Amino acid sequence: MGSILETAVRKSEYPITKLAKRINYTRQHIYNLFQQAKIDLMLMEEIGKIINYNFADEIKELRKYSTIGTESHSVKEPSPGYESLEKKYIALLEEYNKLLKEHNELLKKVKSKS
């Protein structure tokens, strides 16, 4: 189960740190899961929902309990240009934070002169 999980997570390109936070585990725990032969079915299903992958296709025990459905959910590839948009968004956030910091410094100067 661990190797199936690892393959799906890596193919999804979903950040392991972000995945760990979403399920309230540490990154190291995720890596430990990759080495396990058995993993809790509810946890597998929860991770599958996060990375948009249906493990029931490969893990027959999960078919009984899956709330995802019987249709196959392969890992979605990020849409073209996603990385570009993400980089632009991060650049905008950094610029905003810089301007906010400058604004706050100016306010402090004005208040100190008063």
- The domain spans of the chain are 1-76, 78-114
The 10s digit of each residue's pLDDT in 33-63 is 999 989 888 898 899 999 998 888 888 777 6
**d(Cα 52, Cα 100) in Å, to the nearest integer?**
36
Determine how many CB atoms are found less than 10 A away from the CB of residue 63: 14
Helix ranges, 1-114 (H): 2-12, 16-22, 27-34, 41-51, 60-65, 82-113
Task: Give the DSSP letter string of 29-43.
Answer: HHHHHHT-S---HHH
Length of the chain: 114
**The whole model's pTM is what?**
0.53
Cβ-contact 45, 68 below 8 angstroms: yes
The 10s digit of each residue's pLDDT in 70-81 is 444 455 555 566
Cβ-contact 19, 47 below 8 angstroms: yes
